[in-house]
Structure 1
Amino acid sequence: MSKIIIKNDKGPADPVCFQVKGGLAMKILIVGHFSESAHSKITGHFPQDWNVVVVPPGEEMLQHIADCEVLIPEHIKVDQRLLANAKQLQLVQTGAGYDNVDVAACTELGIWVANAAGVNAQAVAEHVMALILSYYKNIPFLDRFMKNKLDEHQLEYTGGELQGKTIGIIGLGAIGNKVAAFCRAFDMKVLAHARRTVVQADGLVQMTDLDTLLSTSDIVTVHVPLNEQTKQLINKAAFEKMKDSALFINTARGGIVNQTDLIEALQNGELAGACLDVYESEPLPLDSELRNLGNVILTPHTAGMPDARKFHRKRYDFFIANIKRVANGEAPESKLNQL
């Protein structure tokens, strides 16, 4: 009899094991804040005879940590303290970002760590373009105007075309390359800065240093992981180098940007606007000043989730394939450590 365990705040769930090729029994633990709809989509996507336990962060999570073999940490830090309770853990599987995982600590304990690099590249790049177009075409304002049934003869607004504008892409991985390709289709000039050497076969992206990118771009978009080198990379000094007319976009990680400096730049006219999907603190506090700024477009960290809130079909397909690999004694794809 196949069984899926869906754990939420309403009651306990007793885990059972599933068998995979090779006879290895596994228990999968997903930790995060999910609605009932998200529960259904996520667990329903796994094979029906797999044991998938979904719990929010908290005390009950620690009970399941003790005997899970696979951990998918959506809203928790995987550090030495947590790992001390994870006696059976074999794989920590994340999405594209893995700044919440202590990879070195996992390696010391013989635990694989893998992310899903590139899986959400199309989704995030499309979201970036949607934000850019919404900003320059003033879509949020025009939508409110129409729905408020105002006199169209009194309509006044500013907008712009993308053709001829320069976009600066910080980080030229899977997502950055997708954004570059989309922007070229809009006849934009594309600059990029990357810590590692990037070879451009088509020659359509001009690699440059960060200062030149910041000072010459009409749009600056961030696509780097959050780590010690990129933490608060975009701060007051960076905003001072940007054009007063520039648009800043962040769909990567909130910690890459000093949010206080960003708000000050937006309020003082040092920056024309911003489009944000990620924040220093998530969910974005209800009293955040960002919610009150008319030159900002906000989305709730959904750039990489095109199928539904907290669900991305391609991502979970990747998770399932990687779990099967580890269950069969193989190394996971997109591994972040060596065992």
Structure 2
Amino acid sequence: MLKPRHNIVVTQRFFDSTAADFLGRHGCDVVVADLAPGQADGDLSEPQLIELLADADAWIVGHANITFSLLNSLPRLQVIARRGVGYERVDTAAVEAAGKVATIAIGGNDASVADHTVALMLAVCRQLKQCQKGLSTNDWSIPLGGDLYRKTVGIVGLGRIGRGVLQRLSGFEVKPLIHTTSPDGVHAEGGVVVDLETLLRESDFVTLHAPLNPATQGMIDERALKLMKRSAVLINTARGGLVRDADLLRALTEKRLAGAGLDVFESESNPALMPVTAQLIQLPNVVVTPHVGASTVEGLNRTNLIAAQCAVAVLEGRSPPSHCVIADGRRPVGQDGQP
């Protein structure tokens, strides 16, 4: 007798054929949500998500809020696989209470975000925004930029992305200062571990790669920004909530900071702050991108496949790679194979 096929709903754009084919070969029918232009799954209401996911056994998700009330309305759903690594919008306790599994796509987009981080550093210090704007009006005057070469770079957070940035910066002969809760092996990689205040005071570039949690929320605020050099540049490709954007706007407009490169904003989770984001976007010394650090063809293909593999593992009664599991509410299986 043929095994029943599983239904997998994808609420992310750019779900590639390789990941879809993998799911098909493992007995899954794939439905990719038809989102409106510019819409993300984080914009969908809970009733909209419930309608999309009513018949889903697995959900490959981006930035939607995963709550107890949502999960309680989806009894068929077994696994929530994030195509990404941050999971501040996933209520892991609710996942476990609902008896479901939630995973993240560790290792899929690290290289892409690390590349983007260095790109923002160079774009800000070489004043590429001003150059582009000038040439668009036939103004060929030359803005005087600065070097990344042999500068002091402070890296806040040394997970996979932070280490990728550190590796890439070795070619620029920078002096890396590291603030991390896991300092093992940092010295061997050429970094010097320091406290956050020292890093802020001494760095020419500060780049953020810490997770967003209660301890790191708003870590770069007015006080932190006042510690930084007037000639320094702040880079954030991690999470918008790490920086108090209104404080950053004030520091930039008062010329207490040379510039910033931002791929993420507080307004992503707090729309009331959109006016602050709009003002940051307009500043000549701020280079911005719309949370695209992980969005390369190669990076998304890798994370698509990891999310698909995690979903299939759960649907087949196996465990995904332990480093990808953020919550597992399944009852433990005994020696007789029964829960």
Asked if TM exceeds 0.5, the reply is: yes
Structure 2 residue 203 is matched with structure 1 residue 214:
no
Change (3 A) 1:24 1:257: farther
Q: Which residue of 2 aligns with 1:130?
A: 119
After TM superposition, list the pairs within 5 Å mapping 1:294-309 onto structure 2: 294-307=284-297
Measure, in 1, the Cα distance between the counterparts of 2:187 and 2:202. Answer: 24
In the alignment, structure 2 segments of 5+ residues that lack a partner are: 36-43, 330-339
Greater fraction helix = 2
What's the secondary structure of 2:102's corresponding residue?
Answer: strand
Measure, in 2, the Cα distance between the counterparts of 1:201 and 1:270. Answer: 32
Scaled by the length of structure 2, the TM-score of the pair is 0.84
**AA of the residue aligned to 1:126:** D
Measure, in 2, the Cα distance between the counterparts of 1:256 and 1:211. Answer: 15
After TM superposition, list the pairs within 5 Å mapping 1:155-304 onto structure 2: 155-200=141-186, 202-282=188-268, 285=274, 288-304=278-294
Cα drift, residue 61 of structure 1 = 2.4
In the alignment, structure 1 segments of 5+ residues that lack a partner are: 1-18
Aligned residue among 13, 23, 26 for 2:3: 23
Contact 1:249 1:276 in 2 (8 A): yes
Deviations 1:10-62 (A, max 9, x none): xxxxxxxxx9xx93632222335x5xxx4xx5467412562224155243421
Provide the identity percentage: 32
What's the secondary structure of 1:81's corresponding residue?
Answer: helix
Contact 1:171 1:224 in 2 (8 A): yes
Cα drift, residue 316 of structure 1 = 0.5
Structure 2 residue 57 is matched with structure 1 residue 78:
no
Measure, in 1, the Cα distance between the counterparts of 2:136 and 2:187. Answer: 47
What's the secondary structure of 2:89's corresponding residue?
Answer: coil
Measure, in 2, the Cα distance between the counterparts of 1:264 and 1:301. Answer: 22
Q: Which residue of 2 aligns with 1:92?
A: 80
Change (3 A) 1:201 1:219: closer
**AA of the residue aligned to 2:279:** E
Structure 2 residue 33 is matched with structure 1 residue 54:
yes
**AA of the residue aligned to 1:26:** H
Q: Which residue of 2 aligns with 1:317?
A: 305
**AA of the residue aligned to 2:300:** H
Q: Which residue of 1 aligns with 2:316?
A: 328
Contact 1:278 1:301 in 2 (8 A): yes
CA RMSD, aligned part only? Answer: 2.3
What's the secondary structure of 1:336's corresponding residue?
Answer: strand
Change (3 A) 1:300 1:119: same
Deviations 1:214-235 (A, max 9, x none): 1111000110111111111111
What's the secondary structure of 2:252's corresponding residue?
Answer: helix
Cα drift, residue 66 of structure 1 = 3.0
Change (3 A) 1:288 1:145: closer
Cα drift, residue 149 of structure 1 = 2.1
Structure 2 residue 103 is matched with structure 1 residue 114:
yes
**AA of the residue aligned to 1:214:** L
Cα drift, residue 300 of structure 1 = 0.7
**AA of the residue aligned to 1:72:** I
Contact 1:96 1:116 in 2 (8 A): yes
Change (3 A) 1:265 1:338: same
What's the secondary structure of 1:281's corresponding residue?
Answer: helix
Contact 1:28 1:51 in 2 (8 A): yes
Measure, in 1, the Cα distance between the counterparts of 2:18 and 2:149. Answer: 44
Deviations 1:299-337 (A, max 9, x none): 0110101119xx811111111211221122111221113
Greater length-normalized contact order (CA 8 Å, ≥ 6 residues apart)? 2
Contact 1:30 1:55 in 2 (8 A): no
Cα drift, residue 156 of structure 1 = 3.8
After superposing the two structures, state which structure 1 stretch, 125-134 or 45-54, moved more: 45-54
Structure 2 residue 18 is matched with structure 1 residue 66:
no
